[in-house]
């Protein structure tokens, strides 16, 4: 198929050379020529070759918003594998596996999820900001959903008065970190009739106390999940809420005049049942996009080479990791997204309950 396509392309190029200008214009109206112009398979080299012989071709490309590259930029791209107009291509060339990671998410490198660097636990814990006497888990024997945070220290700069750098977006204060979003989601789910248990554990303090570090966060979270499951036999959904480290232009969306913190889903592929987790994530993601177009950044699959690879999703086919917003998002944006997420999740859960009741 590829060989035939190449032959057709060169046949078109040859036709351009022998046809008169008027005939060239007529030739450009054929549907298969337009398809080749629109196709990503038509290389920049061929565009440059054809455009150098035929001015109408360049005009049609311009109308379609396609830029004809210069000879020098093509030479550099061919030699170095980097597009001068696309910084992300430099990253893809310099960092092995980055292009594959982007394709798993069906996204470009510039908007890919970014995980914050781990904080210095000793320094972070000196800040305080949390009443250690608070019950870390709101127990609910009838809970159907368990909300928790493997990285509970992930915080938001607009709520951290003295911090402005992305690397400083960490806090143990539950009113300023990702635990706040978990509380918002729990509240919204409860209002929609979904019994929910929320774990507010200061994970940084717990890990530090046991002589562990951030690399042990998912192992620690697994113990938390098991403890919650023992409290309620009805828990069917395990939701690990995080926040991304991308900046505001990527993590924020305006929908019907209201600001939302964008959401995306992480599916760990390093376990046998991950396709079930992916199906669940895709269903929630699609429902979100249907109701709130532009709120989601998609579903991102990660294996062992890109992180933990499992994220405790082997515990249940309804286990999910959700990144809500980024380091720059405000409380209003996070609240709006929590409501949207709760609406979609509650609809899914209520529908699943109806199906199970009929069986």
Per-residue H/E/C for 7-23: HHHHHHHHHHHHCCHHH
* pLDDT tens digits, 36-68: 444 443 455 555 555 555 555 556 555 544 555
C-alpha–C-alpha distance, residues 115 and 167, integer Å: 10
Domains in the chain, CATH or no CATH each: 2-85 (no CATH), 121-358 (3.40.630.40)
pLDDT of residue 59: 60
Q: Which run of H or of E encompasses 320?
A: strand 319-324
* pLDDT tens digits, 96-116: 555 454 445 445 556 778 888
pLDDT of residue 141: 75
pLDDT of residue 161: 87
> What are the φ/ψ torsions at residue 182 (nearest 5 degrees)?
-60, -40
> What are the φ/ψ torsions at residue 28 (nearest 5 degrees)?
-70, -15
DSSP string, 170-220: B-S-TTTBHHHHHHHHHHHHHHTT--EEEB---HHHHHHHTT--GGGHHHH
Nearest residue to 249 via CA among 329, 177, 323: 329
pLDDT of residue 175: 96
pLDDT of residue 280: 98
pLDDT of residue 173: 95
pLDDT of residue 76: 56
pLDDT of residue 113: 80
Please calculate the CA angle 206-146-229 and round it to the nearest 5 degrees.
80
Residues of the chain under the 50 pLDDT cut: 1-6, 9, 36-42, 64-65, 87-89, 99, 101-103, 105-106, 132-133
> What are the φ/ψ torsions at residue 210 (nearest 5 degrees)?
-95, 5
Percent of the chain with pLDDT over 90: 56
pLDDT of residue 5: 44
By CB atoms closer than 10 A (0-12, 13-18, 19+), residue 187 is middle
Angle of the 55-63 helix axis to the 44-53 helix axis, nearest 10: 130
Measured in residues, the chain has a length of 359
pLDDT of residue 138: 66
């Amino acid at each position: 198929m590829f060989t035939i396509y190449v032959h057709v392309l060169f046949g078109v190029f040859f036709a351009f050379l022998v046809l008169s200008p008027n005939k060239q214009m007529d030739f450009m109206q054929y549907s298969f020529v337009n398809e080749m112009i629109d196709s990503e398979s038509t290389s920049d080299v061929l565009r440059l070759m054809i455009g150098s012989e035929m001015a109408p071709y360049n005009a049609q490309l311009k109308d379609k918003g396609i830029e004809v590259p210069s000879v020098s930029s093509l030479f550099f791209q061919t030699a170095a594998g980097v597009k001068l107009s696309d910084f992300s291509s430099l990253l893809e060339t310099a960092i092995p596996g980055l292009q594959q990671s982007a394709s798993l998410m069906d996204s470009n490198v510039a908007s890919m999820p970014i995980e914050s660097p781990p904080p210095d636990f000793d320094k972070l814990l000196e800040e305080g900001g949390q009443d250690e006497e608070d019950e870390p888990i709101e127990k609910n024997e009838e809970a159907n959903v368990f909300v928790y945070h493997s990285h509970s220290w992930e915080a938001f700069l607009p709520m951290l008065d003295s911090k402005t750098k992305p690397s400083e977006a960490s806090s143990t204060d539950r009113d300023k970190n990702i635990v706040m979003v978990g509380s918002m989601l729990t509240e919204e789910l409860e209002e929609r009739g979904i019994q929910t248990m929320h774990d507010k554990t200061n994970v940084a303090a717990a890990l530090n106390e046991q002589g562990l570090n951030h690399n042990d966060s998912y192992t620690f979270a697994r113990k938390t999940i098991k403890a919650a499951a023992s409290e309620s036999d009805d828990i069917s959904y395990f939701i690990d809420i995080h926040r991304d480290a991308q900046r505001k232009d990527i993590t924020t969306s305006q929908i019907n005049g209201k600001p939302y913190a964008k959401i995306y889903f992480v599916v760990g592929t390093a376990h046998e049942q991950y396709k079930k987790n992916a199906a669940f994530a895709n269903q929630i993601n699609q429902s979100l996009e249907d109701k709130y177009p532009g709120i989601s950044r998609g579903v991102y699959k990660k294996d062992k080479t890109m992180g933990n690879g499992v994220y405790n999703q082997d515990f249940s086919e309804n286990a999910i990791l959700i990144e809500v917003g980024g380091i720059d998002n405000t409380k209003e944006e996070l609240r709006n997204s929590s409501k949207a997420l709760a609406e979609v999740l509650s609809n899914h859960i209520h529908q699943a309950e109806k199906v199970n009741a009929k069986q």
